[in-house]
Homo-oligomer: A and B are copies of this chain.
Amino acid sequence: MRITDIKIAEVPLDAHISNAVINFSKMTVSMVAVYTDAVVDGEPVVGYGFHSNGRYAQTGLLTNRLLPRLEAAEPKELLDDGTGIIDPVAVRQIVMRNEKPGGHGDRAVAVGTLDMAMWDLAAKAAGKPLYRALHERFRPDSTLPETVSVYAAGGYYRKGDDIPELQREIKEYLGLGYMDVKMKIGGASIGMDMKRIESVLEVLPEGSRLAVDANGRFGLREALDYAAALEAYDLVWYEEPCDPLDYQTHAAIAQEYGGVLATGENLFSVHEVRNLARYGGLRPGRDVLQMDPCLSYGVSEFVEMLDVLDIHGWRPGRCYPHGGHQYNLAIAAAFGLGGCESYPRVFEPFGGFADETPIIDGQVRLPEAPGIGIEHKSTLRELFNQQF
């Protein structure tokens, strides 16, 4: 099996929304198509990848650094010796050649994007859905779940008095089959934010719960003020109260806040996750970690993260990856994670799952088609067809 061509594209995310820190209207996404000489059922095997929202397209890094290294490698270095199929773990090693330690940012996103495409093609070449391919390789002795828990992340800030619009949005998510929902905080005054929270709680039926997300905006004092105010509500979690790398502030908040804390979507390496486990003061039996494999060097780094977390007493069930797409869904199923994020209606067509797996009672099934399932989400397939 050989790679015959790799094409990349850069598309606008086209989301006119804001969290407490950034506006997404100029955000871009990298798309990757990896062509091979393998044929399955008369079709050439092509692997597709893209990356989660929140970080920008990685055209330069892919074109100038990662892909030339892949091209310079011996084709057999890329293969799994046992199966003769391209091995995404080997690819990740190769594309990271001559990179110094530290500096885990855009590089992690570029590698994660390519990793998604490599896993898509490896699973397709093996004729397996990605979640089963990952499970067989990394967790063969565990039981695969039939469904994965997902929650609807939204509740971004819009211009003006957005409460009626916010309530409409949340009701729409409930109508789509979601149970739990997440909304942004930290982009308005604490008083206004509590009003927004109460307006959402008003429309949530019994059994549905709310998470809130500050996107790392607060310093210690403000994070604690919000923590105190949030204790009044029965929230799923209070997410990213402070800078993702400020472990001490995390520890201080964890000491004060009786509810569940969540963080991790802006940690991009096993080193940063190890530091959070060592110094962040979070409670493995209670809190939630949201590292996004797609933004942080892909599956192999995520496996290392889970290993480090295990040493520190964290079970995979405490992980709910950021990202809201089928690659992270497959990873969530394969590794027995607690669930994964979803962004209904925003970050389209990248967010969301296969057309044939609607959300039912906050759970989603895994598609049985080989690969990630990108072809089984019609709007996403269309975009890939347009670009490649």
Most buried by B among A56, A105, A215, A267: A105
Whether, in the assembled complex, A106 has its beta carbon less than 8 Å from a beta carbon of chain B, the answer is yes
Does A99 count as interface, using CB distance less than 8 angstroms?
A: yes
Residues of B within 8 A of A274 (CB): 246
Copies in the complex: 2
- Which residues of B are found within 8 Å of A57, using beta-carbon distances? 64
Q: Can you list 8 A-B pairs, Cβ within 8 angstroms, ordered by A?
A: A22-B97, A27-B98, A58-B60, A100-B266, A103-B105, A106-B106, A245-B275, A275-B279
Does chain B have a CB within 8 A of A59? yes
List the B residue with the shortest CB-CB distance to A59: B60
Q: Which A70-114 residues have a C-beta within 8 angstroms of B? A: 97-109
**Which residues of chain B have C-beta atoms less than 8 A from A21's C-beta?**
100-101
Interface string of A1-17 (1 = CB under 8 A from B): 00000000010000000
Nearest opposing residue in chain B for A272, CB measure: B245
Chain A interface secondary structure, helix, strand, loop or mixed? loop
The reply to whether B102 and A266 form a contact with Cβ atoms under 8 Å apart is yes
**Residue A243, interface by CB 8 Å:** yes
Residue of B whose beta carbon sits closest to that of A18: B98
List B contacts of A65 (CB < 8 A): 56
0 or 1 for each of A49-61: is its CB under 8 Å from B? (1 = yes)? 0000011111111
What B residues does A106 contact at CB under 8 A? 61, 103, 105-107
Mask: chain A, 320-348; 1 = CB below 8 Å from B; 0 = not: 00000000000000000000000000000
